[in-house]
């Protein structure tokens, strides 16, 4: 059966890196035909048409159609996967309240359109920042959709952490298991090496503590800014790659003996207040994310997790105050 995948911000730079990979079968697998729905704001519809022309010109065997719209009600109609990439970026001098308000104006109506028109099996991944809180806004506008279908992306942070550690130890990334990003997709995020394993041994014990604290954590957390500095534009292909990884694992399951990171609604695990969309160590089973349970959290990790979760609680309280959730 053909699966409809809706991508918002389709004419943007992540959209350009993402759409071709979806159409080539990398999002859902080589046996699943896809229909793409491109949602954009009106001034960007022409650019989206250009991208659609290029998608046509690839003659992808699995691509069964492309729709373009500036109306969320149409764009999400019948969708089983929604990748919410388009967002209002923070511009110079913009206060947090203004940023949240502007994004509420995007993710509230999109959540409602998903609620009213998407397929029953809809899965939502929010990429557009502030991703965790935008996901919370969309989710609260979609009361008829199970809350756990709304997720936010920390897979790029996860992949960055894998790559930094692999380089440090001179091992292939495939030797590393059980990496975790905790908390918010922001500079407060906590990439955890106390549960990660390399060759079956705890990663934190294979690196110097000073490297872990003063190099690894800030390098992963500030990688987005370093990319902007080097490239003159924010991460695009790597962000698209992470979105593909997130949805592929959600649909197809995570490998036995390993886990990944995703921001999902908290059930109260690890002291993260229920309902907050926070990144956790997760496995995917039977098409559902589950938080890995029973990990011991030492004092250092506790402090880091709490700091990032505090930021998420503040964002939640701010959007509540603004009437956005
Ligand atoms: P671009 O500015 O290139 O593209 C964004 C696109 O969204 C534009 O074409 C714009 O017209 C469209 N758009 C804006 N409002 C919309 C609406 N209401 N409906 C539909 N489309 C709308 O940004 P890009 O580099 O593609 O980044 C997109 C988002 O991803 C940003 O919010 C960015 O901060 C976020 N990121 C998130 C990451 C993560 O790990 N979670 C990492 C990469 C990236 O920084």
Question: For the segment 29-53, what is each residue's pLDDT rounded down to a tens digit?
Answer: 999 999 999 999 999 999 999 999 9
Distance CA(97)–CA(93), nearest Å, equals 12
Q: How confident is the model at residue 15 (pLDDT cuts 50, 70, 90)?
A: very high
Ligand 1 neighbourhood includes 108 CB (under 6 angstroms): no
Q: Encoding tokens for residue 263?
A: 């921001």
Q: Residue 209 CB: number of other CB atoms within 10 A?
A: 11
Ligand 1 neighbourhood includes 9 CB (under 6 angstroms): yes
Among the listed residues 1, 2, 79, the one whose alpha carbon sits nearest the alpha carbon of residue 39: 79
Q: Residue 282 CB: number of other CB atoms within 10 A?
A: 23
The yes/no answer to whether this complex scores an ipTM above 0.95 is yes
CATH class for the region spanning 3-152: alpha beta
Distance CA(82)–CA(101), nearest Å, equals 22
79-93, 132-146, 208-222: which has the minimum mean pLDDT?
79-93
Give me the torsion for CA of 294, 299, 302, 306, rounded to 10°.
Answer: 160
Distance CA(265)–CA(225), nearest Å, equals 27
| Tens digits of residue pLDDT in 223-272 | 999 999 999 999 999 999 999 999 999 999 999 999 999 999 999 999 99
Q: Is the separation of the CB atoms in 216 and 168 below 8 Å?
A: yes
In the block, residue with structure tokens 């009600």 = 73
DSSP string, 52-82: HHHHHHTT-TTEEEEEEES-HHHHTTT-SEE
Q: φ, ψ for residue 23 (rounded to 5)? A: -65, -25
Ligand 1 neighbourhood includes 85 CB (under 6 angstroms): yes
Ligand 1 atom 20 nearest Cα: 40
16-19, Cβ contacts within 8 angstroms, sequence gap of 24 or more? 16/51, 16/236, 17/236, 17/237, 17/239, 17/240, 17/241, 18/83, 18/85, 18/240, 18/243, 18/244, 19/51, 19/55
Q: How confident is the model at residue 90 (pLDDT cuts 50, 70, 90)?
A: confident
pTM of the model: 0.98
Ligand 1 neighbourhood includes 40 CB (under 6 angstroms): yes
Please say whether the dihedral angle defined by the alpha carbons of residues 246, 279, 231 and 90, taken in this order, is positive or negative.
positive
Ligand 1 atom closest to the Cα of residue 14 is 26
Residue 128 marked ligand-binding: yes
Distance CA(139)–CA(145), nearest Å, equals 8
Architecture field, domain 155-315: Alpha-Beta Complex (3.90)
Q: What pLDDT was estimated at residue 185? A: 97
Ligand 1 neighbourhood includes 12 CB (under 6 angstroms): yes
Ligand 1 atom closest to the Cα of residue 86 is 7
| 129 CB burial (10 A radius; 0-12, 13-18, 19+) | buried
Residue 164 marked ligand-binding: no
Average pLDDT of the residues in 49-77: 98
Ligand 1 atom closest to the Cα of residue 128 is 32
Q: What pLDDT was estimated at residue 287? A: 97
Q: What pLDDT was estimated at residue 129? A: 96
Q: Chain-wide mean pLDDT for the chain?
A: 97
Report whether pLDDT(92) > 90.
no
| Tens digits of residue pLDDT in 144-168 | 999 999 999 999 999 999 999 999 9
Ligand 1 neighbourhood includes 237 CB (under 6 angstroms): no
Q: How confident is the model at residue 183 (pLDDT cuts 50, 70, 90)?
A: very high
Distance CA(291)–CA(270), nearest Å, equals 10
Residue 10 marked ligand-binding: yes
**12: CA distance to ligand 1 center in Å?**
6
Ligand 1 atom closest to the Cα of residue 126 is 41
Q: For the chain, which residues make up each domain, given as ranges?
A: 3-152, 155-315
| Tens digits of residue pLDDT in 272-319 | 999 999 999 999 999 999 999 999 999 999 999 999 999 999 999 999
Ligand 1 atom 44 nearest Cα: 235
């Amino acid at each position: 059966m053909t699966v409809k995948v809706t991508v918002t911000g389709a004419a943007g730079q992540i959209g350009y890196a993402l759409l071709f990979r979806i159409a080539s079968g990398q999002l859902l697998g080589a046996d699943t035909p896809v229909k793409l729905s491109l949602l954009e704001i009106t001034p960007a519809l022409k650019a989206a048409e250009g991208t659609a022309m290029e998608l046509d010109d690839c003659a992808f065997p699995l691509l069964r159609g492309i729709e373009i719209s500036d109306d969320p009600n149409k764009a999400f109609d019948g969708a089983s996967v929604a990748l919410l990439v388009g967002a209002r970026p923070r511009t110079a001098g913009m206060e947090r309240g203004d940023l949240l308000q502007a994004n509420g104006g995007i993710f509230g109506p999109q959540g409602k359109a998903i609620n009213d028109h998407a397929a029953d099996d809809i899965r939502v991944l929010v990429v557009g920042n502030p991703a965790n809180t935008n996901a919370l806004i969309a989710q609260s506008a979609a009361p008829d959709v199970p809350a756990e279908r709304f997720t936010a992306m920390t897979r790029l942070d996860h992949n960055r952490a894998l790559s930094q550690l692999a380089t440090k130890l001179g091992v292939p990334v495939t030797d590393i298991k059980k990496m975790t990003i905790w908390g918010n997709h922001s500079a407060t995020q906590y990439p955890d090496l106390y549960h990660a394993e390399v060759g079956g041994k705890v990663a934190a014990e294979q690196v110097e503590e000073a490297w872990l604290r003063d190099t690894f954590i800030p390098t992963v957390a500030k990688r987005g800014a370093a990319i902007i500095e080097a490239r003159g534009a924010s991460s695009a292909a790597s962000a698209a790659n992470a979105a593909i990884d997130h949805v592929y694992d959600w649909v197809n399951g995570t490998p036995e003996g390993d886990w990944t990171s995703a921001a999902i609604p908290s059930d109260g695990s690890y002291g993260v207040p229920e309902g907050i969309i926070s990144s956790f160590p997760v496995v995917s089973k039977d098409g559902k994310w589950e938080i890995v349970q029973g990990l011991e959290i030492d004092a250092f990790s506790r402090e880091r997790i709490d700091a990032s979760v505090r930021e998420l609680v503040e964002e939640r309280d701010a959007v509540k105050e603004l009437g956005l959730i």
